[in-house]
Each structure stands twice: as C-alpha cells, then as structure tokens.
Chain A
Amino acid sequence: MAQKIGVYIDTGYGIGEALDVEALSQVAVKEYKVAVCRSEPYWSDPEKLAIIRNDITTEELTAIIIAGPSRRVFENVFKFDGIITERVNLREHVIWCQPPNHEDTQMLAEDYIRMGIVKTQKYDDRAPFSEATEKAILVIGGGVTGLNAAVGAANAGYQVYLVEKEAELGGWARKYPKVFTGKPPYDELIPPRVAEKIQAVQNSDKVKVFTDSQVFEIAGAPGMFDVIIRPNGPWVDEANKRANDWRAEQLARAARFAGEKQEPAAEKEEAVGAWGVGERREPDYEHTRVAVGSIVLAAGWRPEDAATFEHLGYGKYPDVITSVQMEELASKGKITRPSDGAAVQSIAFIDCTGKDNEKPNLLYHSYVTSLVALKQAHYLRLSNPDGRAYIFYENMRTPGQYEKYYQTMQDDPGVFLSKGEVLGVSNGGRQLAVEVKDTLLAERLKVNVDLVVLGVGMVPVTQDSAVVNLRYRQGPFLPVNPQGFNDSHFICFPYETQRTGIYTAGCVKQPMDFHQSGTDGLGAALKAIQCAELTAQGKAVHPRAGDQSYPELFVTRCTQCKRCTDECPFGMYDEKPDGTPMPNPTRCRRCGICMGSCPERIISFRDHSVDMIGSMIKSIEVPDEYSEKPRVVVFICENDAYPAIDMAGINRMQYSPFVRFVPLRCLGNLNLIWIADSLSKGIDGVMLIGCKYGDDYQCHFVKGSELAGVRMSKITETLQRLVLEPERIEVHQLGIDEFAQIPVLINKFIETLSGFDPNPFKGF
C-alpha cells in the first residue's frame, strides 16, 4: 500500500545552523515526492505537534517522519494513533559528531533522509495479533514463593491455578522449626508463619489449588497456554525419563558436533531432534485442563546429594547428617544424637560449598548455607547454654541485613568460627573427630564433637526434570545457564526465562532465603500479570515492550531448512505436519533473528523486512571512485550499539563522515543478503556492532550477536567470489558504557579500507 508521507525536519538543536535544510527538503520533495515537508525548530512543542496533527487530517497522511533528535527521546511525544511514525537521527548521529556546514556532513544527512523515507515506504499493513486473550495465571509450586505469587495475583483480581506436587501446601517452610525474623535487630529466630499464607490461599475464591499433582504438559503460547494438570502417578517417572533421555541425546549430539571438524551435510535430524511434533494425543487419563495467560515457576529446590561427602563420614557414621536433616532433628525439641539418643553438647558445622566442589551450580549457594549454619548453631545454644558449636567455612556470607545476625552469633561465647578446609571426619571413640587445616589459628587442628552437620547445596528441581514439560519443538526444558539455573538476561530481566510468558521465582531461580523467596514470588506474579495484559492487546512484553508487529512467513517459498526454528532463542516456532515452521506469535520477542537466518528471506514484520533494509542500503548515494569519499555501512543493534553511538554524539566525539548507520533490532537480525546488497552497491566496507555474547552475555536476545558472528564467518566464500578482501567486513562487540570506542573503531576501519582500492562495483 503506498504511504502518504509527511517529513518534518527539526531545525532546532543547532541543526538549522549546521546543515543546509533547504537542500534536505529538496531530497524529500524532489527525489521522493513526499506529500508534506516542513522545517521548524522543536517539533516536540505542543503548538508544533498541532501542525502535524492538522496535516495528518487535511493531507490524509499515513506516515510521519521526524528528522531531528534520536528516536530514543520523545518516544511518547511523537505518537499519533494509527499513523506510522519514523525517526531520522540528524542530531546525535549527524550534527553532534560531524563538523558543521561541511560537504560530507550534508551528504550524511541527506543519505539518512533517503533511508528514512525508503524505510517508511516499505511498511506493510497488518493488524496486531489479538487472539491471545487468556489472563489466568498458572503457579507451579506451593511453597512460600508460589503461595505469595498466588495470593498476590488473586488480590489483583486474576484467576490463579496453583499446582503443588506434595499432599500439602507450604513446601520447605513447614519443615523448619524456626526462621529469621526478617526485621531489625536480626538477633532472634521465630517459627515460620506459612500457615497464614496457606489460609489466605485457601480462603481466596480466585485461587484453585491442585495438591498431590504436577503439570503433565504445557502447549500453546502466552495468552493462550493450554495446560494439562494430572494427579501424581507412575506417569511422572515415565515422563521425566522420556524428557531426560531426549535431553541427554541433544547434549551428546552437540558434543559430537563440537568435536568433529565438519558436520555431515543435510543430516535428517527432525525426527530425533524435534519434540512435541505431530498429533497431540487426547488425554485418556484423569486430568484437569486449563487455559492460562502466563506462568510462574516456583517449584523450588531439593538438597544436594550428600553421597558425594563420603570422605566427611556421610553414610559411614549415623551422627554425620546434612543441614536439612538437622532441621528435622531440631524440630523434635531437644537435640539428640541419631546413634544413641544422647543429648548433643557439641556440633561441628561444615560448609560443603568450598572450592573443591567442581559442580558449577554450587558456586552460589553459600549465600544461604552460611546463614543456615549460624541458625542451627543458634538452635544448639538456645537449648544448651554449655553447648559448643564449631563452624568451619571457606566463606562466611551473610548478605544484606543478615550481617547483623552474623554479629549476634559471633558475640556468643559458645560459637567458635574459623575458616578452614575440613580434611575428614573419623571415629573419635564416643565422639567424632573432625580434622581441619589452614584455619585461622594458623595450623591444623582437630575437634571432638557429638554431631557433624554438613551444609549441603540447594539444587533447583529443574536439574532433575523439566517441570514445565513444554510441548515446544525446541524441547520440554527451560534453557539453563552454565550454573544449571534457568537462564535469562539476568541484569535487565531477572524473572524472565528464555520462554516468553514463563517467569521463575524463588530457589528454582537462585539460592535465597525464606523472606527473599516470598518477595520474589510477588515480583514474578507482577511480571506474569504484565505479560498477560500486554499479550491480550497484541503487544510484546520485553524487551520490545508494546511492539504490536510479529513475524509472518511467505510459506510458498519455504524450503523447510528449519534455520529459523533452531536459531530462535525463545522457541517461537513449532512445526506443522508438512514440515514448515509454525509460528506462535505471542512467544515472539520480535528480535528478528529468524528474519536474519532465512536464506530464502520469507520472514518479515509489518515494520521490518529484508526488502526494507535492502532498499535502505540501495538508497545510499555512493560517490564514484575518483571522489575519494569511501562509503561504509555499519549495522548496529538497538540495545547497546545504537545508544552507545548516541552517547558518543552527546559527548561530541567526532569521527569519519563516511559511515552510514543502519539500526537493526539485534545483530542476529542481520540477513546476509544485505552484505551482498551493500557490496554490489559499491559500499567499501561493512561493520557490525552489537552487544557482547558468551557466558556473561549482554545481548538482550541471548545470542543474537553470536549468531551474527557465525553467519559472517560464512561470508568469506562470497567475498572471495566477488574478488573482495575479507578485511572489508568487521564484527565488534560493544557495551553501552564503551561508547568512547566508537570513534576509534570507525576511524581505524576507514584507515584499513584506505589501504584497499575502492569497491570496483561503484557506479554499476
């Protein structure tokens, strides 16, 4: 559909003084024949906005282009219902980083006007996806976290389904005799108040509780999840085995791929690699089927297997127990030895989260185990004023206000603390002998105690089974990070997982204490509500909150290569019976990675397509090879790179005027055809700047820039075919705080290119 475009050039901010605005207008009017073109200072002022609105009505405009400040400012000001709004950055990306009234600066500005207009012309007319309107919330796990999430969501007016695998609600809190107060002066212990929470849930008419049940399967997408809940039975072990076997096979396959130099071409992997593809069996077993909008995963933790601590006497001596068993022992009142029932006078607490432990997920749980050791030492001291508690640790971590509790326990003369490495526990006659080296007493020592308590780690239940049992082609599991916990962009989106609409809270996410778990549950419930509401309006949740576009496929040309399906970090695509990808729009985060991956270029968004970007590149004016004005296209991701360039502009850092920035949603959004488009247009070099990837990734879409890097490695062949130097392409990772690198990278690249002949395709 042809757009009727109005171009509004902002002459404020010094733009009017630094550029020939008249010439810019001529580009819009003469070259592109836009319907309206005006130049005024500060279009964000209310009187000026009124002019635009008037134009929209009188000229029947369908699209507005504001050429002025960065699109990251005035987002809510330049909003016109039903009208396409595009922004061209003449401020941060032009006049603030280039000398005023210079020929090259003018050419830069004119190119951006061209690119902006061409982009706007390529918008498509598509309605938002409005079929996902379910707003009920599923909470998996009925411990403190899940209870808080359920009550919170119910109080906000949402229907909640709470699934708990045990026969009673309450989780671990029911099993502790005492917990911390969570209030100053942090020197006491009180019984846990989980009964109140359980009561609140049972009293609420908005919460439907399923105890002694688990989630059998979740299909669908946010706003339209289709959940099957079943009472416990033999199916649990069978389902877990199937899922775990599948996962083991996937990992083995990945290991083989990493080990081999070349992957055998076109191996048919669908049958084994896919999950949940094909006809869905109608349930012929006892179950409840519910429709929900979003999900809170609060399934919690289980203790680390203490069998790994044989050298500390576990399993050998009945008086060596885990911290979990210690809670049970203490809840009986007087603390007695398991072996002979005698009263316990002395206990050695050993923190088992030391550096010798190679399992990566245990790197983080002495966040809680130090506190547990102190609390249990407190149990002993409360019940026995002559009791002695020895605590041996690699680290003593008592986060936040719990430092006060640590100081309280430190002041107790019966608590003996020392850093140290426990060498072993042996038979000391009636007692147990604990041998420790590298202590604060500067030597190896031994203590004789009645009881030894091992501080074991907290393992998320998702280590043992999928729990969510997703009927997604990418598998039933939530992807995990190297520590074995659910993976998310931790800094920006703490509750998120790599499956849209599913939010984690509590110890399944990271080790945390009772109070923090409760708060975490509330936080996740809020996210879940946000997801349900936005999805019902056809909008993306995060990071592109409010985005109403979604990918559509021109299926006729699909070759079923499944690159989009495999590369999507969020498992958006399932598979149709004929093998073509089946999009689930509400799972989508609109990153465009699939669009970049498709070699047939069949995927597009309403406001973002392969043709659009290709056309933008082709609209760039490329001077001939005698002008000594090279041209460089720089693809930048909108999350880190675009803001970094804005920052460079704000700091008035100057760099080469020969670069043209093309913003993408993510570097993974890059389609290789655009490289070919650039080079065949005569562009001398292409640079990609995106967020960092790797184990501590910053990429807001998890692995976009990594995928871009992988794709670029395959471009070398194309370049050689075109007889062009591979050094004409550069890929860089940048954090927003590294904006000072922008001029360095760009100027260095221009210098590198100056060593080559100009692109021979100029002027073709």
Chain B
Amino acid sequence: MAKEFIAEPDLGFTKDLLKSGGGDLKKCYQCATCSVACKVSPDNQPYPRKEMIWAQWGLKDRLMNDPDIWLCHQCNDCSTLCPRGANPGDLMKAVRKMHIESTCWPSFLGGLVGEPSMFVVAMGIPVVVVLLLVYFLNGFNFSGPSPVNYGTFINYIAIQVIFTLALAFAVVSLVISLKRYWNSLEANIPIEVQGPRKGFVPSLIEALKEILPHTTFKDCEANNIRYAAHLLTFWGMIGLLITTAIVAFNIDILHLKPPSQNGPGTVAIKILGNASAVAFILGLVIMTVRRLTVPDETGSSAYFDWLFLFVIGGTGLTGLVTELVRWAGSVPGAYFFYMIHLMFVLALLLYLPFLKFAHLGYRTVAIAWGRSVGRNMTLATAAKYVPPAKPAEEAAAE
C-alpha cells in the first residue's frame, strides 16, 4: 500500500450497513481481538478487524472488492469475544448482503429481493406464474382418481420447460455475477497478495475438496453446531437433486413410472429421497431454532436471513407435507400442496443469485481465488510452543 490513499467516506454506505444488520459497527475500537479469535482468518492481513474500520469510515470501494468477506463463514467467534459488543460477525454478513446486491445481474432483481417492503412483489412473481400454469393446464381442478399421479395434474413437460428455463436463468445470472466478482478480485483488491498464481480449475478443485466435507467450517467454535446442521442440509439438498435427476431421467428417457407410482427402482430411490429430505429439513430446523433461541452464538438475524430460510425451508416443508398428504390418501390435498411446493421451488431457483442462497457461488469463488493466490485458507495447526533453552548454569543451579 505504498501508493497514497485518499479517504472519501461514503456516509450513505455506512448508514446502509447500519440498517442491513451491522448496527453496532461504530462501537469497534480496533483492538483486533476478533482477528485473533477468528480460526479461519489468514495470518497476513486478517479479518474482520480491517473490515470494521473500513465500514466505520464508509469505504465502500474497499469492502466491495474484498475477498475476505466471503472467506468468512459467519461462525461468530469474533462477535462472542468482542469486548465492545461491536458484532463484527454481523457486519461481515451485512457487507455480504450489500455485495450480492451490487454485483448481481440483473441488479434490479437484487434490490427487489433485498428490500423488506418488496416482499409481496418478490414472492408474488413465482406464485402468479405457478397459478397461471395450473389455471391454463388444469383450470384449478385438484380432484382426480387415486393413486396420485402428479403427471396428470400438471404435465411433466410443462414443469420441465418452466423449471429448466428458471434454472438456466439462475445459472446464467450467477455466472455473470460471479464473473464480475472474479474480475474485481483480479483488479481491485484492497489488500496485498503475492506469490505464484495457480490456474482457475486446479484452484476450484482444491476449493471443492475443502467445501464438500466442510473442513474449514469445522474450525469455528462459537456456532459449531451449525457446521453439523449445514452439512446435513448441504448433502441433503445434493441428495434431493440426485433423486430428482434420476426420477426425471427415468420418466423422460427410460419412460419408466415414477416412484410415486411404484415404478422400478422404487425402494432405492425412495430411501435416497426420503433420507435426503430428512437430512435437509433437520439441518434447516436446527439452524432456524438456534437463530431464534441463541442469537448470541449465531449472530443476529435480519430480513435477508429470514427470507432465505423462508424460501428454502418452505421448499423442504412443502415437499414433505405433499408426500405425507399423499400417504394419508388425500388426492386433492396432495395436488394442492404439490402446487404450493412448485411455487417455493420456482422462487428458490429464480432468486438463487439474489437471495442469501447465492453464497453457494460467491463463497466457492472466493475460496477458489484464495487457493489460486495462496491466501492460506485454513490455518495450519500452530506449532507447539517450545520455551527457549535455559543457559547451562541456571539449569544447574535449580
């Protein structure tokens, strides 16, 4: 940082941060307890201390181009140890939210999803799309013969078209947003990095090797339960995706009956699906309950957090309820909840790049980039302290 830096605090940015959940950020007096406490922060220019002073000084540029905000796993060790109650964990979360809003594409959707007063409009879009779909295909007729056959309620093709489009949109949007992020990291980072660069793909593979078993996340202490809960939800979701893919493949390509109609491979698929669903939902329930009962350990929760939990939790719960209602024997009930479930899934996919869900992309990119420049991700276990050798005469005197 030899070049001169002209500080031009953006007062509006600081006020936004204060509103987005970083309410205590001005209390920080730079003691650096947080940076020392953070298990996953690197030794060189650690976080979250510098982010706190940048936030206090309204230095939007630095925060928006900082890789460290996404290396943080919101374990809350820093907030629990902060002697001032400045909650650096919450500040990092608030910056992440504003970062998503500023890098996402198209940006107006980021604003729509992030603004509490736009809840009805934001959620209204997937609701209206699914309602229209059901209306045009079915005229809101939920009745039908037993057993439940979702394909007759809504044609699978229609589902696949709509949802594939939604997924495609999400993927394109996320890729553009993440490309913007990567470029800003290459060009504008406010910290010094040096050393040889690894290529993108090897870095990504290294990142995935760490992310899939949650190696880094395990180091966090204050909110350690969330590591386990998140692991459940993470793998539960992957399990559910695999299940969906297999079923879609069976239906479309192999023209087999789906498991709901006891098609072949039913037992294996059902076990995979249900086990994944249980893991998925259990993890979310644990995380939600902890947010409500022990906010000191989890960090405080703002609109942005609850919205994501609402959408993804709603997805899981409606899926489960749909299955249960089917088992209970109510055909209209199953079709009704299936419709609700579709609304949630559509919301989840459509808004993936704009909800907190986007963390799956941003954090991965940040960790991959970190691996690529050698900004050590997990601290190697610190060498055991060896006291200096005593001079011979002192040792003899004892």
Using CB atoms and an 8 Å cutoff, list the residues of chain A in contact with chain B: 386, 388, 407, 410-414, 416-419, 435, 440-448
Say whether, besides A410-B26, A412-B26, A446-B6, A441 and B57 are in contact (CB < 8 Å). yes
Instruction: Output the least CB separation between A78 and chain B (Å).
Output: 53
The residues in B between 1 and 29 inclusive whose CB is less than 8 angstroms from any CB of A are 1, 4-9, 11, 14-15, 18, 26-27, 29
The residues in B between 147 and 202 inclusive whose CB is less than 8 angstroms from any CB of A are none
Assembled-state Cα–Cα distance A444/B4 (Å)? 6
Q: Majority SS of interface residues in chain A?
A: mixed
Can you report 9 A-B residue pairs in the complex whose CB atoms are below 8 A from each other? A407-B27, A416-B58, A440-B53, A441-B7, A441-B57, A441-B59, A443-B1, A446-B4, A448-B8
Assembled-state Cα–Cα distance A446/B45 (Å)? 21
Say whether, besides A386-B11, A413-B15, A446 and B30 are in contact (CB < 8 Å). no
Nearest B residue to A410, CB-CB: B26
Nearest B residue to A386, CB-CB: B11
Judge if B56 is at the interface, Cβ distance under 8 Å: yes
Assembled-state Cα–Cα distance A386/B18 (Å)? 16
**Interface residue tally of chain B, by bracket?**
20 to 34
Assembled-state Cα–Cα distance A422/B45 (Å)? 24
Is B56 in contact with A448, judged by CB distance below 8 angstroms?
no
Residues of B within 8 A of A411 (CB): 26-27
Say whether, besides A413-B14, A418-B53, A441-B57, A447 and B7 are in contact (CB < 8 Å). yes
Instruction: Output the least CB separation between A74 and chain B (Å).
Output: 49
Residues of B within 8 A of A416 (CB): 7, 9, 56-58
Assembled-state Cα–Cα distance A104/B26 (Å)? 72
Residues of A within 8 A of B11 (CB): 386, 388, 413-414
Residues of B within 8 A of A435 (CB): 4
Is B1 in contact with A442, judged by CB distance below 8 angstroms?
yes
Nearest B residue to A417, CB-CB: B56
Is A446 in contact with B5, judged by CB distance below 8 angstroms?
yes
Is B6 in contact with A448, judged by CB distance below 8 angstroms?
yes
Contact code string B28-44 (vs A, CB < 8 Å = 1, else 0):
01100000000000000
Assembled-state Cα–Cα distance A446/B1 (Å)? 13
Residues of A within 8 A of B357 (CB): none
Nearest A residue to B55, CB-CB: A413
Residues of A within 8 A of B15 (CB): 413
Residues of B within 8 A of A441 (CB): 5, 7, 50, 53-54, 57, 59
Residues of B within 8 A of A419 (CB): 30
Nearest B residue to A434, CB-CB: B7
Known contacts A413-B18, A416-B57, A445-B5; can you find 13 more A-B pairs with CB under 8 A? A388-B11, A407-B27, A411-B26, A416-B56, A435-B4, A441-B50, A443-B5, A444-B5, A445-B4, A445-B6, A445-B7, A446-B6, A447-B7
Residues of B within 8 A of A446 (CB): 4-7
Most buried by A among B11, B50, B54: B11
Using CB atoms and an 8 Å cutoff, list the residues of chain B in contact with chain A: 1, 4-9, 11, 14-15, 18, 26-27, 29-30, 45, 50, 53-54, 56-59
Residues of A within 8 A of B1 (CB): 442-444
Nearest A residue to B14, CB-CB: A413
Instruction: List the 3 closest A-B pairs by CB distance, nearest first.
Output: A443-B1, A413-B14, A411-B26
Nearest A residue to B18, CB-CB: A413
Residues of A within 8 A of B26 (CB): 410-413
Residues of A within 8 A of B53 (CB): 418, 440-441
Residues of A within 8 A of B54 (CB): 441
Instruction: Output the least CB separation between B368 and chain A (Å).
Output: 26
Is A440 in contact with B9, judged by CB distance below 8 angstroms?
no
Most buried by B among A386, A418, A419: A418
Residues of B within 8 A of A417 (CB): 56
Say whether, besides A418-B53, A440-B30, A442-B50, A447 and B6 are in contact (CB < 8 Å). yes
Assembled-state Cα–Cα distance A687/B358 (Å)? 82
Nearest A residue to B13, CB-CB: A413
Assembled-state Cα–Cα distance A388/B58 (Å)? 11
Assembled-state Cα–Cα distance A444/B59 (Å)? 15
Instruction: Output the least CB separation between A187 and chain B (Å).
Output: 14
Assembled-state Cα–Cα distance A386/B8 (Å)? 13
Nearest B residue to A447, CB-CB: B7
Instruction: Output the least CB separation between A388 and chain B (Å).
Output: 6
Assembled-state Cα–Cα distance A448/B58 (Å)? 15
Most buried by B among A407, A410, A414, A441: A441
Instruction: Output the least CB separation between B124 and chain A (Å).
Output: 34
Instruction: Output the least CB separation between A564 and chain B (Å).
Output: 54
Assembled-state Cα–Cα distance A417/B52 (Å)? 12
Most buried by A among B6, B7, B9, B50: B7
Residues of B within 8 A of A414 (CB): 11
Residues of A within 8 A of B29 (CB): 410
Nearest B residue to A443, CB-CB: B1
Nearest B residue to A407, CB-CB: B27
Assembled-state Cα–Cα distance A407/B84 (Å)? 10
Residues of B within 8 A of A407 (CB): 27
Instruction: Output the least CB separation between A345 and chain B (Å).
Output: 11
Residues of B within 8 A of A410 (CB): 26-27, 29
Assembled-state Cα–Cα distance A445/B59 (Å)? 12
Residues of A within 8 A of B59 (CB): 441
Residues of B within 8 A of A447 (CB): 6-8
Residues of B within 8 A of A443 (CB): 1, 5
Instruction: Output the least CB separation between B185 and chain A (Å).
Output: 20
Assembled-state Cα–Cα distance A419/B8 (Å)? 17
Assembled-state Cα–Cα distance A417/B53 (Å)? 9
Residues of A within 8 A of B45 (CB): 442
Assembled-state Cα–Cα distance A407/B45 (Å)? 27
Nearest B residue to A435, CB-CB: B4
Residues of A within 8 A of B58 (CB): 413, 416
Instruction: Output the least CB separation between A463 and chain B (Å).
Output: 35
